Amino acid sequence: MVELYKGLLFGLLLSFLLGPVFFALLQTSIEKGFKAGVFMAIGVSLSDSFYMFLTYTGVSFLSENIQVKFVLGLFGSLVMMGFGLFTFLKPVPKRGLKQPHFVSNNYFRKILKGFILNSINPFILIFWLGVAGMITIELHYSFDQAFLFYAGVIFMVLSADITKSYLANKLRDLITPRFMKILNRSVGIGLILFGFRLLYYAFEIKALV
């Protein structure tokens, strides 16, 4: 169970990292409600789980293929900038945000949003490749030990994201349309900047070819 404990600690560390998914999760929780934030967090965790499985089962060659890294960076940057532009231009309700605007049949869309937004970032793949190398080369974990470690990470990150969604949703009554407009603009600009950073990274990689 030591591996599970280390996974929980590692997941706690990841929970404090700020990125486009973090800001999008807070925005979704405030605008659409706690449940929307929870399902988006589930999508993010599913994406992380996918990359964990992908990297641990032996596709580390992706991190060494410059052309693949360029395509991932280019595609990810364009999609992220698209998300950012959509968020920036999205209108806000005129009567405030006291009542949730979340519709029950949109659960899958929130999961998909979290999955895609997390998956399009090529740094996520590179990060989990590093983790896979750490647990196989440095820690010499067996499959069962690696499973416990990854389970601890996912549990902690998902729990932290759900907590963030709950706290963000509690601010609903204090949120005005003006604040929501500023938040949308800020999140949109942030996503666009992250997209440009990925684009720069992609062409920096391309220059190595």
| Max mean pLDDT range (8-12, 54-58, 76-80, 175-179) | 8-12
DSSP structural state of residue 137: I
**Where are the strands (E) in 19-130, listed by range?**
none
> In whole angstroms, what is the distance from residue 176 CA to residue 156 CA?
32
Over residues 111-152, the pLDDT tens digits come to 999 999 898 887 787 778 778 777 765 677 888 888 999 999
What sign for the dihedral angle of Cα 20, 115, 133, 3? positive
pLDDT of residue 137: 58
Of 107, 123, 125, 100, the C-alpha closest to 50 is 125
In tens, the pLDDT along 96-121 reads: 544 444 445 578 889 999 999 898 88
The pLDDT mean for the chain works out to: 80
pTM: predicted TM-score of the whole model, two decimal places: 0.74
Confidence bin at 86 (pLDDT 50/70/90): confident
Band of pLDDT at residue 37, cut at 50, 70 and 90: very high
60: pLDDT strictly greater than 50: no
